[in-house]
């Protein structure tokens, strides 16, 4: 090792060796991880905001290692936690968390905020949330902070070599277009035109993340939106998946993949990875028993039909065994379902991860 090797590189190298010894996938060095998006990936930013979109009270976190509600919309770990585990890194902290400083910054940061969408008017009913434009501004601010810590060159390298997760789109349907009958957006756009508009706006967001230095970006489509217990409870007669929301997801996801493929062609590199959340979720939603679940219709925590009405609170029905439920609350998967999703992100074939899965990305990047 040359005498010019920075202390940061050495500490990252040590972190990587520790991770390897811990039996996770070998890494030359632990890579930073950045998360952008909505409640599926928020790990506590909304705790620091005056908003109703929050998960910082029991029974949220009932199975989290500390047994406390952390702001994750889960009974335990969420998708970013499990991706961090897979890449041999400690979980990222929410960007607004006061503890995110010093060496902790080098792990990365989670900028996600429950309730947001691709569009700025998505989630306005939640008042104070970190819209995607603001998340990207925070990412710039983060880079300045890291630059001050380890110097601009190392900071740029950390961002270029990082893994990024971007999860947007579901709320643009659930909490915007279909939020109320004759919503502003549904009067403005027929569904096919709305999808085209969303994709064009999403493209601008992805280009911006690339301009800010990200080079490995997992982009998730929406899940089977109509199959969430909330939608089954309010929009279906006999508990089947709600047709209109399923139609929206079926239109949106293929166009997202097409847009990502075109972007990669323009850039001349596989920067964006299309992550097929629709099929990942549909697998266990349509055949829960094959995955060890008893139900994918009923939420573990909630009230009313399918436990799909209202919020998950201390007054809600709570299932005693979270392992056998695919959905934790009216909208979000359980930790166990999240584990199935992340295991597919890591090892899934091109049906799920296009052009490659996370283990291939890690193998490729470790050789560079």
- Give the residue numbers annotated as catalytic, written as ranges: 39, 329, 332
Q: How many other CB atoms sit within 10 Å of the CB of residue 24?
A: 15
From the list 99, 88, 223, the residue with the least C-alpha distance to 163 is: 88
Q: How many other CB atoms sit within 10 Å of the CB of residue 66?
A: 7
C-alpha pair distances (Å), 258 with each of 118, 202, 221, 323? 17, 12, 12, 35
- Is the link from the previous residue into 59 a cis peptide, with omega within 30 of 0? yes
- Is the link from the previous residue into 355 a cis peptide, with omega within 30 of 0? yes
* Structure tokens belonging to residue 201: 């706006």
The DSSP line for 166-213 is EE-SHHHIIIIITTSTT-HHHHH--HHHHHHHHHHHHHHHHHHHHHTT
* Structure tokens belonging to residue 84: 């961090």
């Amino acid at each position: 090792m040359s005498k010019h090797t920075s202390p940061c590189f050495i500490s990252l190298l040590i972190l990587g060796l520790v991770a390897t010894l811990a039996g996770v996938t070998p890494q030359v060095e632990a890579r930073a991880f950045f998360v952008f998006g909505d409640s599926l990936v928020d790990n506590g930013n909304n705790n620091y905001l005056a908003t109703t979109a929050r998960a910082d009270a029991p029974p949220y976190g009932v199975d989290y290692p500390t047994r406390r509600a952390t702001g994750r919309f889960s009974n335990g770990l969420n998708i970013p936690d499990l991706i961090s585990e897979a890449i041999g890194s400690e979980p990222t902290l929410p960007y607004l968390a006061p503890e995110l400083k010093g060496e902790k910054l080098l792990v990365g940061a989670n900028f996600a905020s429950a309730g947001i969408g691709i569009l700025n008017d998505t989630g306005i009913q939640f008042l104070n949330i970190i819209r995607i434009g603001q998340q990207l501004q925070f990412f710039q601010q983060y880079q300045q902070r890291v630059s001050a810590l380890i110097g601009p060159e190392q900071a740029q390298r950390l961002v270029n070599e990082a893994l990024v997760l971007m999860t947007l789109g579901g709320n643009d349907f659930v909490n915007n277009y279909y939020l109320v009958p004759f919503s502003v957006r549904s009067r403005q756009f027929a569904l096919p035109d709305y999808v085209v508009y969303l994709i064009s706006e999403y493209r601008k967001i992805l280009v911006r993340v690339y301009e800010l230095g990200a080079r490995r970006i997992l982009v998730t489509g929406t899940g089977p939106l109509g199959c969430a217990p909330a939608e089954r409870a309010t929009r279906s007669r006999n508990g089947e998946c709600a047709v209109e929301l399923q139609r929206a997801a079926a239109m949106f996801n293929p166009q997202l993949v097409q847009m990502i493929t075109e972007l990669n062609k323009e850039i001349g590199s596989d920067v964006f990875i299309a992550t097929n959340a629709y099929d990942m979720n549909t697998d266990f939603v349509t055949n829960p028993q094959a995955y060890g679940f008893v139900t994918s219709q009923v939420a573990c925590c909630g009230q009313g039909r399918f436990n799909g009405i209202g919020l998950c609170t201390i007054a809600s029905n709570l299932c005693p065994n979270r392992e056998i439920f695919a959905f934790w609350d009216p909208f979000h998967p359980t930790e166990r379902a999240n584990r199935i999703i992340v295991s597919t992100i890591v090892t899934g074939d091109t049906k799920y991860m296009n052009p490659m899965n996370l283990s291939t990305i890690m193998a490729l990047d470790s050789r560079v």
